[in-house]
Amino acid sequence: MGKDGLDALIGVLAGRGRTVIGPTARDGAIVLAEISRGDDLPYGWGVELEAGHYRLRPRADGAAFAHSAGPQGWKRFLHPPRERQWTADRTPDGQWVVAEDAVTPPSYAFVGVRPCDLRAIAVQDRVLAGGPYTDRAYRGRRERAFVVAAECTEPGATCFCVSMGAGPAVGEGYDLALTEVVDEYGHRFLVRAGSEAGESVLADVPHRPADATTWTTARESVEAAAGRMGRTMPEVDLRVLMRETLSAERWDEVAGRCLTCGNCTMVCPTCFCTTAEDITDLTGDHAERWRRWESCFDLEFTHLPGGPVRASSRSRYRQWATHKLGTWYDQFGSSGCVGCGRCIVWCPVGIDITEEAHALNGEREAASQREER
């Protein structure tokens, strides 16, 4: 499929009543926003990433998807930062009438979903729609969503999806998958359908059978990306590592840098915690309950009558890291980390979860060697 086909794809999805969301270059970053044509995509833009550092940089090849994950994950559309739950109004006779918000969920089409983010959506599916306590609002949006994944051929300096088994090739859960190829033969996209809905949409988009060169280049580009990850996790069982290092001195070191700002949880594509917020108007006759994102770095997150359960920055960072890499398995059967690197990039002091994991493993190994001697 050529660039004209990608433009047509966006038009077909919009023509079927879907709100098309994709990456765009805006305000010095790659952000997710509603798009209406192919030119809205960030053609010719890449990113420069490091711990606590993010910059757009121009690319000579004009690629559309040669950028790493931006500050936003797709969860902001499936699991919005703020959502009203119900309203209550006082009647003239003093009684209260409570009405649950029951709106028709939007029909989204996500274009350019990275493999790590595709895995993150699957993780949130398990948390919010796969257990006995289903989030009906999330499930409604998820069931109506159409996913166009874009395989990664240009990993960033903070990416470690290979360590988490989340990329750079796409896994399950997409309707269409694209692999961008830019070479001396032109600019094109290898496209594969992963569902009946994907096949139906593809049938209305200009495309042609893929030639052997495109197939080979696409596969080799993705395989090469796997060997160019900017970060790695230690090759150990992270669940065991987290469990065996709860008293490690390294937690004190990271606590000395952590601002407990919660940026890592806000940009994380899998964090799902929320709190309830009740508001009323000045008359006292109208009230609303809103659900909004909450962070385990917030003192109020574990507040009990006797005070917060985790009062220190050490305990709050440790809770986040050990849950993400360890006890998430116990709850949901998988890791809560997909290796996107957002928490590293958007931490204002550059705390690196992969560096911390390696340091914890090093401290554990050193302690083991001392015991053997």
What stretch of H or E contains 180? Answer: strand 176-183
Tokens of 362: 């090093």
- In whole angstroms, how large is the CA radius of gyration of the chain? 23
Tell how strand 146-150 and strand 19-26 pair up: unpaired
Partners of 176 in beta bridges:
148, 193
Mutual angle of helices 196-203 and 3-15, in 10-degree steps: 110
Alpha-carbon torsion 265, 70, 109, 21, what sign?
positive
Q: Which of these, 342, 370, 335, lies nearest to 164 by C-alpha position?
A: 335
Distance (Å, whole) CA 204 – CA 12? 7
Please give the pLDDT value at position 208: 95
User: 203 phi and psi, to 5 degrees?
Assistant: -60, -25
- The whole-number mean pLDDT for each consecutive block of 10 residues of the chain, a chain of 373 residues, reads 95 97 95 96 96 95 92 95 95 93 91 97 94 89 97 95 95 96 95 97 96 96 95 96 96 95 96 94 95 93 87 94 95 94 96 97 90 76
Distance (Å, whole) CA 119 – CA 81? 20
Peptide bond connecting 308 to the previous residue in cis, omega within 30 degrees of 0? no
Please give the pLDDT value at position 271: 96
Three-state DSSP state, 253: helix
Three-state DSSP state, 129: helix
Please give the pLDDT value at position 26: 93
Please give the pLDDT value at position 8: 96
Please give the pLDDT value at position 153: 94
CA-based max dimension of the chain = 81
**Within 144-273, where are the H helices?**
196-203, 212-226, 238-244, 250-255, 263-267
Alpha-carbon torsion 363, 368, 369, 371, what sign?
positive
